């Protein structure tokens, strides 16, 4: 698994501070919102936990990004080779059109139904039905107005 965070280390943060798990969010207001609704924690133990398990080599840090590469363990690889657990996650219980729409919305949440219909190769009405189904299943949420808003992938 590879996790990419654009922007590198926050200004004034030393690499050793990062490795020790000192938290310095880029957007403290957004961090407080996520903290208050339970989407994140403020303990700073994630990086040290990764380093204990995989070493500092799991991280690649540049001025433009921080990349973390976490290898699958043997048990996960063994299960995937047996085709067990491959469909676990965000796409469970979705049809092909819904899966494709989710993938496109992850890349660009501002996609319109017209744009999606062209990219997916189905009618606009099929896209509208699929978007309604994804909302009902709790997989997407509309943020903002119909005209200028966007969709956010929830799960």
Residue-level pLDDT at 85: 40
Measure Cα distances from 77 to 62, 69, 88, 132 in Å: 30, 16, 14, 35
The string over 58-77, giving b where at least 16 C-beta atoms fall within 10 Å of a residue's C-beta and e elsewhere, is bbebeeeebebeeeeeeeee
Of 31-35, 93-97, 110-114, 136-140, which gets the smallest average pLDDT? 31-35
Of 8-12, 66-70, 91-95, 132-136, which gets the smallest average pLDDT? 91-95
| Complete domains list, the chain, with CATH | 2-69 (no CATH), 96-153 (1.10.10.10)
C-beta separation of 34 from 25 below 8 A: no
Query: How confident is residue 80, by pLDDT bands cut at 50, 70 and 90?
Result: low
Return the closest-CA partner of residue 138 out of 151, 122, 125. 151
Residue scoring higher pLDDT (2 or 115): 115
Return the closest-CA partner of residue 58 out of 2, 12, 18. 2
Q: What is the mean pLDDT of the chain?
A: 81
Query: How confident is residue 90, by pLDDT bands cut at 50, 70 and 90?
Result: low
**How far is Cα 20 from Cα 31, in angstroms, rounded to an integer?**
19
Residue-level pLDDT at 23: 76
Residue-level pLDDT at 81: 54
Report pLDDT digits (tens) over 6-59.
Answer: 888 888 889 998 888 887 777 777 777 777 776 666 666 788 888 888 899 999
| Site of tokens 């938290």 | 23
**How far is Cα 21 from Cα 28, in angstroms, rounded to an integer?**
16
Q: What's the predicted TM-score (pTM) here?
A: 0.44
C-beta separation of 134 from 101 below 8 A: yes
């Amino acid at each position: 698994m590879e996790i990419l965070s654009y922007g590198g280390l926050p200004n004034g943060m030393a690499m050793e501070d990062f490795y020790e798990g000192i938290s310095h969010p880029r957007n403290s207001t957004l961090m407080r919102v996520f903290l208050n609704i339970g989407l994140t924690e403020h303990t700073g133990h994630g990086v040290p936990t990764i380093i204990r398990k995989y070493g500092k080599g799991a991280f690649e840090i540049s001025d433009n990004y921080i990349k973390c590469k976490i290898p699958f363990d043997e048990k996960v690889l063994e299960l995937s080779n047996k085709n067990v657990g491959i469909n676990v996650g965000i796409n469970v219980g979705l049809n092909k059109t819904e899966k494709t729409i989710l993938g496109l919305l992850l890349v660009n949440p501002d996609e319109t139904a017209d744009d999606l219909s062209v990219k997916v190769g189905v009618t606009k009405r099929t896209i509208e039905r699929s978007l309604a189904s994804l909302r009902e299943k709790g997989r997407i949420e509309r943020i903002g107005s119909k005209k200028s808003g966007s969709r956010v992938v929830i799960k």
